[in-house]
Structure 1
Amino acid sequence: MRNIGLAFIYSILPLSSAMTFAHAPTENIQQYISTQLNIVGQVKHDLHLEVSQLEHYPQSIQNIHISKKNGEISENARYKGVRLTELLNAAQVTTTHHNDVKKMIIVATAKDGYQVVFSWNELFNTAIGEGVLVIYQKDGQILDDRTGRIALISSRDHLTGPRFVKWLDEIRVVQLSY
């Protein structure tokens, strides 16, 4: 059963696509700039949110250290945004049975194809979920072109860089079937 679930996850995530970058190329960066976030999938209400609409949700401001996968701190900044759980609650994750949430994953996708995955339990039942933010400001300024106008970060991860999704385009709620 577990192998089927893992096979599904690997089938929806591009593992060796030329379009998937940990960080988008420095040339022609304009094509990656995100100005709208789409929340879709196993939700009652698809949401299509501009930055100005994100400002209407409860705000979170956090000082975050961006660390690379080797543990090196690449930047310290004060980010402003909305907890991902707030947005998922607004979209209303749909289930048929009470335990369906235990089989749900949330896939955050950037405009360049980069993807990260969270489980429903990780977001709603651990301290990590409190630190998963859809961000739109850094140090009081709008996010720059290198990050896109909307991004996502998991600030409570030991290494924050790997789940820092620049140019955030879509949040998709998926119920695994196994």
Structure 2
Amino acid sequence: MLRAVRTNPAHPDFQLLISRLDKELQSINGDDHAFLSQFNQTTDIKHVVVVYVDDQPAGCGAFKHYSSAEAEVKRMYTDPTFRGQGVATMVLNELETWAAASGYSACILETSIKLTSAVALYKKNGYKQTPNYGQYVGVSFSVCMKKDLKDDDTIKAVIATLAAIAVLLFFMIPQVSAQVTTQVEVTGLVEHPLTYSIDHLQGLKTFTGHDLKIVGAKGDVRKTFHTYKGISLKSILDSAKIVMPQPKEKGKYYIIVKGSDSYTVLYSWNEIFNNPTGTHVYLIFEENGKPITDDGRFVMICSNDNITGPRHVKWVQRIEVARLP
């Protein structure tokens, strides 16, 4: 089974994979390797994806800021053992989704003319060759490519309808095949990507609430928390520190909460930081005095909702900060 994880360059599995990548590139590029390797440093990279096959690190990729509109894809690699299984495509798609959510409208990249399989992969995924850019101008053995991501109107339409889709999924589709996760990742437009475990959360300032009912659209009570313990989403985001170069654009920022069953809920920045709702959204890890077991290890709830069911996220796996273009 393939699984993608968003992380940062310090992740040990990413470091392991790129060490293998560098050895392979040195063999392929020969005398050209010294020139190309200077552009493959991870110093300016903050967004990394690692894909696992049955919990084994199989492939990776990253992107970094190139311009206000373009993210540059870097460090794409699949271990030879796992090639031909869709690993590289999953890495690329995850990077593109992340880049679009971060406000970029296109992805660009450079590869070697000698890496014919890489060129074929990018073409298959919608990339088109362009004139060489930046440091690759005039480099005969470099191939530069670009892919336009979804246009602004499409992105806005998707964001506007995600919440409605999540509500429909809650009432129409049984939530199955979820995987219990032992940690929650905080990623996206944050200065400090975080990973929370149960032990970590227990060491923080927690909140204990009482008598919360999970209510469906017809008023049916699906579950009752006599007590629940957790940490507020607002405090999590404060610790991660949202990257917001232009504070006047607060209204463009939103928070995605996703479970391992793919159930997704959205909160706007204003809802969390400029509305009473923000003090009622919690990542909880204990219910009725005991660790959560039936719904994963982590659950996100909003106790301020009249109908609490649609924003009751079980098996919470990821909290991501994103921005409209």
Task: Name the TM tier (shorter chain).
Answer: 0.7 to 0.9
Aligned equivalent of 2:187, options 24, 28, 40 = 40
**Matched residues in 1 for 2:220 and 2:254: separation?**
29
Letter in 2 for 1:162: P
The two structures have a TM-score, normalised by structure 1, of 0.85
One-letter code of the match for 1:100? E
Tell me if structure 2 keeps the 8 A contact 1:65–1:75.
yes
Task: State the partner residue of 2:135.
Answer: none
2:287 to 116, 134, 138: 138
What residue in structure 1 maps to residue 248 of structure 2? Answer: 99
What is the root-mean-square deviation of aligned Cα atoms in Å? 2.6
* 1:97-136 equivalence runs, <5 A: 97-136=246-285
Deviation of the 1:5 alpha carbon: 5.7
1:61 alignment counterpart: 208
Q: How many residues align?
A: 169
Show CA shifts across 1:78-136 (max 9, x none).
11000000000000001111122221110100001000000011011111111100000
Please show how residues 154-173 of structure 1 align to structure 2 within 5 Å.
Answer: 154-173=302-321
**Percent of aligned pairs sharing the same letter:** 28
Instruction: Name the larger-Rg structure.
Output: 2
With 95-104 and 110-119 compared, the bigger mean Cα shift is at: 95-104
One-letter amino acid of the structure 2 residue matched with residue 174 of structure 1: A
Measured after TM superposition, the shift of residue 160 of structure 1 is: 0.7
Stretch deviating more after TM superposition (31-40 or 147-156): 31-40
Give CA deviations for 1:32-82 in whole Å, capped at 9, x if unaligned.
212110000010011011111112222111121111122222222111000
Residue 159 of structure 2 is aligned to residue 9 of structure 1: yes
Render the CA deviation track for 1:114-161: whole Å, top value 9, x for unaligned.
0000001101111111110000000110001x3100110111101111
CA–CA distance in structure 2, aligned partners of residues 116 and 39 of structure 1: 15
- Secondary structure, in 3 states, of the residue corresponding to 2:156? helix
Q: Give the aligned residue type for 1:7.
A: A
Shift of 1:4: 5.5
Q: Which runs of 4+ in 1 moved over 6 A?
A: 11-14
For the residue of structure 2 that corresponds to 1:122, the secondary structure is helix
Aligned amino acid, residue 123 of structure 1: I
Q: Which letter maps to 2:198?
A: V
Q: Which structure shows the bigger proportion of residues in helix conformation?
A: 2
Q: Matches of 1:22 and 1:128 in 2, distance apart? A: 27
Instruction: Give the counterpart letter for 1:91 in structure 2.
Output: A
